[in-house]
Amino acid sequence: MGDITKFLSPKLIKVNMQAEDKNAAIEELAELLYKEHVLKDKANYIQNVLEREAQVPTNLENGVALPHGKSDAVLRPAVAIGISKRGIRFEEGSSPSHIIFLIAMPNNADDTHITLLSGITSRLLDCDCLDYLKEAKRPEDILAVLSTEETRTENKGSERFLIGVTGCTVGVAHTYLAAKALAKAAEEMGVSIKVETNGSIGTENVPTREEIERAEGIIIASDKETDMERFRGKQVVTATVKEGIDHPKELIRRVLDGKAPLFAGNSTERVPSVSRKAEEPVGALSGKMFYKALMNGVSFMIPFVVIGGLLIAVALAVGGKPTPQGLVIPEGSFWNQISAVGSAGFTLMIPILAGYIAYAIGDRAALAPGMIGGWIANNGSFYGASAGTGFIGAIVAGFLTGYFVKWMKKLRWPEMIRPLVPIMIIPIIGSLFIAFVFIFIIGAPISSLMTALYAMLESMSAGSMILLGITIGLMQGFDMGGPFGKVAFMFSVGLIAEGQPQFMGAQAMAIPVAPLGMALATFLDRKHQLFLPEETANGKAALAMGLVGISEGAIPFAAGDPLAVIPANMIGSVVACTMGFLFGITDSVAHGGPIVLILGAVNKPFMGLICMAAGTVVTAIVCITLKRLKLKRN
């Protein structure tokens, strides 16, 4: 089993718990972890555990509960164990749990940690082991029981063969407990089984095509999505991971008795294995799918934003020269090459966003069409526009492509061409579909809208500076380098040559507000309640991009939570832009951000700094406020 002292110690075991309910039990055991320096933020960890409990309760029918959390609040992997003589109910109507394992796992836990931990928790399926644990008088007795090597017997010569698939949303405990429960039940019933686990360390023990062909049926006990294409034509039983732990023999019996349905449709579609609660509306599931697909695209896009943004930022800061056309890096210079690499990252980030949104909905067949759709969306030349639709167009392209491909996979294709459907037919038709939509349906209105917006700004240029500042600020903050921001930028740049640099001066104040505001918001979120860990890390990159006037640094935040981030960016940009007009700030180069203050392109650098700082603070405050309101509502 390995050295369990890496996870357990007598100081992490309480043989007589005082808690009377689930929350109090988690609090009591979390205090042990905190005192032993396993946790750096107890409140944040407890919140993560309770969020996991809200998804699916972690109590088992054998009197064991396995609450767990995987979080940046955890410094090292550990388990706190509590024994409750009276028992604690983890969900209404359930039997009380007498043995509670509170598992703490850091986000960066390695494979060895998780494998050893799964070995410890798998002992909880042993009835004799549970009896010993319940009667233990000292922490050392519990350590001794869990340290005992488990005896295994081989199930030889069984002709009946099954395949299992297990997985839970965290992938720390239940995934491996369900796998062990299925294996143990199969052994007792005289059949062979191979169980694929989808845990934190990735997918293991994947069955081969030959094994799938040989298998009598498939048992999927998982709370995660499962690739179902490979099981076409086989008996398939689907259940939650908790059912896989509590009732493995019933699941196996359904296959052996021929009562499991044949999986016949949806080709490569990934099917969620979680049984939907009767009271949960379909709209809630659709909302979860929408958010999950969106975040899938954002998570794959972030590295491209960071690489592209930081390389361009460094190249501009070190090798850029101020000109009326903006900060220009001399052709053929070293920094020009670095900037070109960064530009490649920026060019790819929009197709990546669209592609992986589509992938989350329609699986592999949707990936290429989604990326092609994102490329077309971001390239206005396809539909006669002066600029592409940016990340908003990519989101639209991703969802349209994903759901179109998902629909196509439900069609009944002739048997002869079925092998070509997911790798050739659907990708080609999907690509043509999204290209047609953008070029012939969406493209013309976008081009007309950009022309109208430019004309509107021209008509407003002789009027109120405050009203113009509000308009340019709203456009700049809305899409961060997208079509609205580009129209405002082209309008301001055109007026520099006409001797009116005040328009560029005002917009230069608004350009860095979105990324700087997101960087400040992630810094102020000290308890990590409002931003995901990758967003918090991305805040540092957004800071660097904002300092050199790259507004795209805020795109991952806006794509991940548009209803909170985009309004905040717009309001903050309005503040900065309007203040720029009121203070009479001018900018002689077509660029923005603090870097133009340092390079001397702005007439009032100190006032410019105040404008940017004010917009940044307003953006951060509005964003945090909106996110907190959303958190309370949920």
Q: Which residues are catalytic?
A: 68, 168
Looking at every residue in the chain, the average pLDDT score rounds to: 82
Residue 553, exposed/middle/buried by CB under 10 A (0-12, 13-18, 19+)?
Answer: buried
pLDDT confidence band for 530 (50 / 70 / 90): confident
- Residue with the two structure tokens 């603090």: 594
pLDDT score of 613:
95
Q: For residue 188, is pLDDT > 50?
A: yes
Residue bearing tokens 């294709």: 413
161-263 has CATH 3.20.20.80 classification: no
Task: Give a three-class secondary structure readout of 245-309.
Answer: HHCHHHHHHHHHCCCCCECCCCCCCEEECCCCCCCCCHHHHHHHHHHHHHHHHHHHHHHHHHHHH
* pLDDT winner (highest mean) among 54-58, 89-93, 247-251: 247-251
324 burial (CB, 10 Å; 0-12 / 13-18 / 19+) is middle
Residues 596 and 551: their CA atoms lie apart, in Å, by 14
Task: Give the mean model confidence (pLDDT) for residues 37-46.
Answer: 87
User: Does the predicted TM-score (pTM) go above 0.85?
Assistant: no
- Pairwise CA distance, residues 269 & 287, whole Å: 18
- Give domain limits for the chain: 5-147, 161-263, 287-454, 462-633
pLDDT at 244: 87
Identify the band that residue 128 occupies on the pLDDT scale cut at 50, 70 and 90: low
Tell me yes or no: is domain 5-147 CATH 3.50.50.60: no
